[in-house]
Chain A
Amino acid sequence: MTAALDVQGLTTRFATRGDPVTAVNDVSFSVQKGRILGLVGESGSGKSVTGFSVMGLIDAPGEISAGKVLVDGNDLRALSDEHMRKMRGNKVAMVFQDPMMTLNPVLRVGDQMAMAVRVHRKMSKTAALEESRAALEAVGIPSPEERLQAYPHQLSGGMRQRVAIAMALLHSPSVIIADEATTALDVSIQGQILAEVRDLADTTGAAIVWITHDLAVVSSLADDICVMYAGKIVERGTAQQVIDHPRHPYTKGLLDSIPALHEPGKHLPQIPGSTPQLSRLPQGCPFRPRCPRASDICKTVPPADTVDGQTVLCHHPLERT
C-alpha cells in the first residue's frame, strides 16, 4: 500500500553568514492512512522545519536541498509553485501553534472558512458555509452556526484551535501536519482536542504528523514516533517500542528526565549540557558530548541507521528489552 505521506532523504539548509546550516539532515519517514506519527524533539532539533519542508513552506535563505516528499505517491517537490499552491490546504494541510496568528482577525470565522473552501473548489458561498459548518461540528464545536458569525477574538483559545483544525479538514486532506498544536492550550482543553484528533484520524483516514516537544502527548496519541536531535531522526519505531523500550541514549535520557516517572523529591536523571548549535555540530555523532555511552568511534564516525524493526542512529544502542 502506498503511504499517505512518504518522506525520503529530506534535507533542508539555511544560508547564514558563515557556512550553511543543515536544519533537517537526511530525514526519512512515512505515515499510512489514518495513522498518527509523533515527531518529537527539543528546540532546534529541526522538527518544525521538517513540517514546513513537507508543506513546501521554506523561503530564502532556506532551501530544500535534497529528498522527496511523496503524498499518495506524488512527489510534491517535483511540482511547480502553482501546482504546489493547489496542493497546500487541499491535499496537505497544516495546523500551527498559535491560532491567533493563523486566523484572520478582521474576518468572521465563516467568511474565512468559506474562502478557504472556494479557493480549491468551485461552489456557491452558501454551500461553502454549509461545508464550514459541518467541519466545525466535526471538531466538536457547539452551536457551529453561531460560531460562523463570530470573529476570532470572540472565541477562546481552545475554540480558535478547533477552528484552525476544522479549516485544515475542509478538503479532506491526505496529510495533516500539526506543529505544537496544543502546546499553548490548557490541559483540560488539550485533552479534549487530542481525543478529537484521534477520532479524526480514525474516521477521516487522514495521515497526521503531530510535531511536539511533549513526549507525554505523543505517547498517548501517536501510533508511531520519530525522535529528532540536531536535524536527524535518531530513533524511529512504534509508540510502544520508543516509549517502553527506547534504544537511543538520547530518547532514554529524555524519558528518564520526566518527573512523573520518579519518586517525588528525588534527583532527576538529567542529560548534561545543552542542545548543540547546528552551526557548530561536533564531528561524528552530534549527541556524543552529552552521551553516557559514547566511545572513541563516536568522535569521528557519524552513526548509521541500525534497523531491526526500530531504527536507531547510534553506535551503541541500548539492548532490546
Chain B
Amino acid sequence: MTDPILKIEHVSKRFTRMPGLAERLVGKVTGGGKPVTVHALTDVSLEVSQGEVLGIVGESGCGKSTLGRVVAGIYAPSDGSVTLHDKPVARTHGGNIDKLTTQVQMIHQDPFASLNPRMKVGETLAEGPRYHKIIPARDVQARMRELLEKVGLEGAYADRFPHQFSGGQRQRVAIARALAMEPEVLVLDEAVASLDVSIQAQVLNLFMDLRRDLGLTALFISHDLSVVRHVCDRVAIMYLGRLVELAPADELYADPKHPYTTALFASVPTVGTGKRRFEAIKGEIPSPINPPSGCAFHPRCPLAGPRCRVEVPRLTDAGTARTVACHLNDGGVDAKSEVAA
C-alpha cells in the first residue's frame, strides 16, 4: 500500500443538545432536564491512500454520515484530527470552522435538495471555482461545459435549471460540481441511494470511469453492500459510532470476521430465487444517546460472552491489512480475569 494521503486519527464527534426552558423547569422537580449528548463517532481512525476508494458501511445511527462530514470539514471533530497531506482539512477557531480546504468535496444523497433550484446549473458549477480562483475567470465558461460533458451531459445544459433534469442527470450535475473544485478527495454520502436501479448503474459506471481517468481518492458512504463491493477497494464497517471491521473488499465479502458484519451480510436480500429464510439480526439498533456497555453489539450478538458486556473491544489485526474490533479475535469472550494473564 502506498503512503496514505488522508488520515483520520482518533476522531470522535459528540453532539450535545441543551434542554429547553420547559424541560429545565420540569427538570427542577423531576431531576431531569440535563444536556443530552449523542456520541456520533467514538475514536475512529482510518487512512486512505492515493487513488483508493474506501467504503463506509453501516445502518442508521452508525455515524457514517457524520464521519463523511467530519472528513469534508463540515463538522469539526470533538477529538482527533483529519489531515490531507498532513494538513488539517479544516482550521477551527473556538470550536467553529473558519477555514476549509477545497481539496475535499462532498456529493450528497438527494440531488433535488443539493442543487439550488433558482440557479442555472452552469452558475452552480462555476460558483466555487470562481470564488476560490481555481480557474481563471475567462476560462470558467469553457471549463463548465467540459465538465458537463465529462459527466455525460451536454455542454449546452449549462443554461438549464435543475428542474429541467431527471434525478440521474441531477446527480451527474452534483458530481460535476464536486469535480469543478478539482478536489483530491471526494466524499460520496449515499450518492446513488435515491436513484432508480437502471439509473444507479449509469451513475456507478460514471463514477468508476472518472475514478480511473482522474485517479480520484474517495470515501464511499453507503448502506448498500452490493454497491460498495462493486466500487470500493477497502471497506470499513461501522456500528454505533465505532469502527468494527476494516478489510479489503474481496476478503471482507468472502470471509467477514465480526459477528455484526456476518449478520449484516446474512440479512441483505439478494437477487436469486429459491425460498431462502432471511437470517435476521435480532433486536433493535440501540440509541447512540445511551449505547450498551462494553461492546455496543453485544445485546444482539449470538456469540457474546460475559467479557463483551463490560469491556469495549479494541481493534486488533485479523490478517494482513485487516482489523476487527471483537473479543473473539482478542482472547475470547469469557470474563476478563481469565484473559488478563
Which residues of A does B touch, CB under 8 Å? Answer: 42-43, 156-159, 186-192, 194-195, 198, 213-217, 219-221, 239-240, 243-244, 253-255, 257-262, 264-265, 267-271, 274-275
Contact = CB atoms under 8 A, between A and B. Distances in A.
B318 interface: no
Contact of A265 (B60, B231, B269): B231
7 contacts: A188-B280, A192-B282, A243-B273, A258-B226, A262-B230, A271-B201, A274-B166
Contacts of B271: 215-216, 219, 243, 255, 258, 260-261
Contacts of B289: none
Interface string B200-237: 11101100100000000000000101110111000000
Say which size band chain B's interface belongs to: 35 or more
Contact of A260 (B59, B166, B270, B274): B270
B157 to A, nearest CB: 14
A274 B168 contact: yes
Contact of B196 (A42, A240, A267): A42
Given A42-B196, A186-B60, A187-B268, A265 B208 contact: yes
Given A42-B198, A274-B166, A190 B267 contact: yes
Contacts of A244: 272-273
A264 B230 contact: yes
Contact of A159 (B204, B227, B273, B284): B284
Nearest to B199: A274
Given A186-B223, A192-B278, A259-B230, A156 B273 contact: no
B46 interface: no
B259 to A, nearest CB: 12
Contact of B201 (A214, A216, A243, A270): A270
Nearest to B201: A257
Given A243-B271, A243-B272, A264-B250, A257 B197 contact: yes
B202 A270 contact: yes
B173 to A, nearest CB: 14
B93 interface: no
B273 A264 contact: no
Contacts of A159: 284
Interface of B: 59-60, 166-169, 196-202, 204-205, 208, 223, 225-227, 229-231, 249-250, 263-264, 266-282, 284-285
B229 A188 contact: no
A191 B267 contact: yes
Contacts of A213: 196-197
Nearest to B281: A188
Given A191-B268, A267-B208, 14 more contacts: A187-B268, A188-B281, A190-B269, A194-B278, A217-B269, A219-B271, A244-B273, A254-B197, A259-B226, A261-B271, A265-B208, A274-B168, A274-B199, A275-B196
Given A187-B268, A240-B273, A268 B280 contact: no
Given A188-B267, A194-B278, A240-B273, A156 B226 contact: no
B73 to A, nearest CB: 28
A221 B281 CA distance: 17
A221 B201 contact: no
A159 B287 CA distance: 14
A259 B280 contact: no
A275 B284 CA distance: 37
Contact of B284 (A156, A190, A268): A156
A320 B168 CA distance: 33
A257 B200 contact: yes
Contacts of B268: 187, 191, 216
A220 B273 contact: yes
